[in-house]
Amino acid sequence: MDKILVHGGRPLSGSVRISGSKNSALPILAASLLTRDRCVIHCVPDLSDIHYMLQILSHLGAHVERASGTVIIQAEKISTVAPYEIVRKMRASVCVLGPLLGRHREAKVSLPGGCVIGDRPIDLHLRGFRALNAACRVEAGDVKVFADELRGSTVDLEGKQGPTVLGTDNVMMAATLAEGVTVIEGAAAEPEVVDLAHFLIKMGAKIEGAGTRRITIEGVKELHGAEHSVIPDRIEAGTFLVAAALAGTEVTLRRVNSDHLKAVLNSLTDAGFRMDVQRDQITVHGNGSPRPLELITEPYPGFPTDMQAQMCALLSRANGVSRATETVFPQRFMHVSELKRMGADIELDGATAIIRGPSQLSGAPVMASDLRASAALVLAGLVANGLTEVNRVYHIDRGYESIDEKLAGLGAHIERVKDRSH
């Protein structure tokens, strides 16, 4: 097992290229199951989650080729069963349910694993499938969905913590091949949902309203192959924005979509950082000394839950008291105890982290508990005194392509080593 060592105190400067979006690529790869034709997907990031998804597609019978960011998939004949040993490593594997149901009117997929950030049930996905006239059962750890015919209808996918992104993806994919019109109310409006819709439209689907809370899908008889480039990863971009604010002098992010980053950019501006924002690149002038903030995570276009941990690291250096309130995943504060080990002054009050600064952070051995928490610990290590040792970095490899190499390219003293204790 690898660990990442960060030697604090090196300023960041230069430019970094942002990879394709993990949360777009995963459902787009799954959507290739909707057609027998060849699909070509560009800007696919090299991540362990992507690797697992391609394994799932291959197991289902798809022919998969991959070369330097481009994946070619042809799913001419496919199985409809994805067992536990294939899907256990990744929560997003559930997004093969929609395409399998749409194309073959049945699917059996084992309930997946993934991050430990609270309960993330798939009941909203099943609500959507039932609205399309599918029967759904969960038994012995497997989700079984089947239908004699899929019929469009109206379904509300708003959950207790807001809309479901993967649920919206799943129902949208199944509905492309259903009879009649499906209306998803309370749909997720994230850019990743819009990206999937654009790919499905290229395949011949009839979809309107993606990016709003109401998506309309008119079913078609069949879909065909398509070619598509995945959008830039807004969470990777946000993470590098925070890294630049925290530890940078002048850092430029290339291949970004600044429209997708408005909430993060607004927060960094409120915290006192100067940024030059263009449509596809952003330059941050770091000063490492933010003003305190009141942050509340919300579904898009609000402040993303996937950036909350990184902002906690940044706000530990702010002069004053900040608050970060989590409304999407209220239990998502596993990083707090590890940041406290490094000297951050953070206390939890329910779903709010109260952060008092500025704290002088010190390097320490820390444990990554989930994907974004691990990124926050690496960022904290950039400005900590001494050596920070981040263990369990398999979490970070799920969602960040070569984060250690990219930070090293900006001047960080960072290295990846094998953990000999395992």
> 97 - beta bridge partners?
none
Q: For this structure, is 43 an active site residue?
A: no
If phi > 0 it is left, if psi is from -120 to 50 it is alpha, else beta; for residue 184 that is beta
- Cα 72 to Cα 42, 82, 264: the distances in Å are 9, 20, 33
Helix (H, G, I), strand (E, B) or coil at 360: coil
CA–CA separation, 169 and 205 (whole Å): 13
Torsion on CA atoms 378, 383, 389, 391, rounded to nearest 10? -20
Helix (H, G, I), strand (E, B) or coil at 374: helix
- Cα 362 to Cα 157, 280, 335: the distances in Å are 44, 35, 15
Backbone angles phi, psi at 295, to 5 degrees: -110, 140
Q: Which two tokens stand for residue 159?
A: 């959950």
Catalytic, out of 43, 115, 136, 312: 115
Residue 244's Cα: distance from chain center in Å? 21
- Residue 268: name the closest of 253, 249, 252, 288 by CA: 288
Annotated catalytic residues are: 115
